[in-house]
Amino acid sequence: MNMKRLIALALALVLSLALAACGSGAAPSPSASAPAESAPTESASAESDLDYVKGKGALVIGYTVYAPMNYTDDNGEFTGFDTELAKAVCEKLGVEPQFQEIVWETKEIELASKTIDCIWNGMTLDPEREANMACTVPYVKNAQVVVMKADADYADTSSLIGKSVCAEVGSAGETQILGNEETKPDANLAQADYVGKSVQTDCLMEVAAGTCDAAVLDMTLANAMIGEGTDYAGLKIVDELAVENYGVAFRQGSDVRDAVNEIFAELVADGSLGALADKYGLELAD
């Protein structure tokens, strides 16, 4: 076979292979003809907060040390009105209560991030909190009070102009002094030297030590912790500034709140909530 014939045969072979390759590429493969697998999407109905809590079998309760709501008694037992109430509610929900101490100032962040499932610690209800969290119906009455040494000279809040006044950071007491987007501060307290503390009991320590002239805090705590027979026998309530109500806060949109509201109604109806309030010297909300 001469050289020209060999070259011609080689070219023909190359051409036939090229055409075969083109033909196989033109026909869609089974995988190419099948519809593409869609990316996983969230279910149309997201898991409810109640399902989430029941699924893990526990309700994580954010609290700060605050007698008579959540505290450790002389026998070393963790107790209090809110502690006992939360346990009773969790029993009806079929979950275990898990109490987790928090920093009050960052309570909303911990709630939203699911570090805790609720804030159950004598939390004052106000428009801002009710707009940003799912809050229960009011269950206990409270007020903000001014606490000073028993021998302090006090007429009204004007007596505190230029004086040092402390409150828990992020509390209703702080709002009374500084105000917020919803409410104005007390005109006289706004002229005091404000000192923010991490917990309300620190405020009592400041006043007792004389490092602050007064504290603005919850009446429920003051009634339980100052006066004759307490560690703060030398302190007294000199003024009552604002009547308010306590509620429990859950994540915004949480259906746990609705379940707890139903249980609260049951506990009011059978008298057990009233009996618990009497035990701790509290008054139920209307």
Tell me the average pLDDT of the chain.
86
List the chain residues with pLDDT less than 50: 1-45
pLDDT in tens, 82-105: 999 999 999 999 999 999 999 999
Does the pTM exceed 0.75? no
pLDDT at residue number 46: 55
Distance of CA 186 to the CA centre of its chain: 26
pLDDT at residue number 194: 98
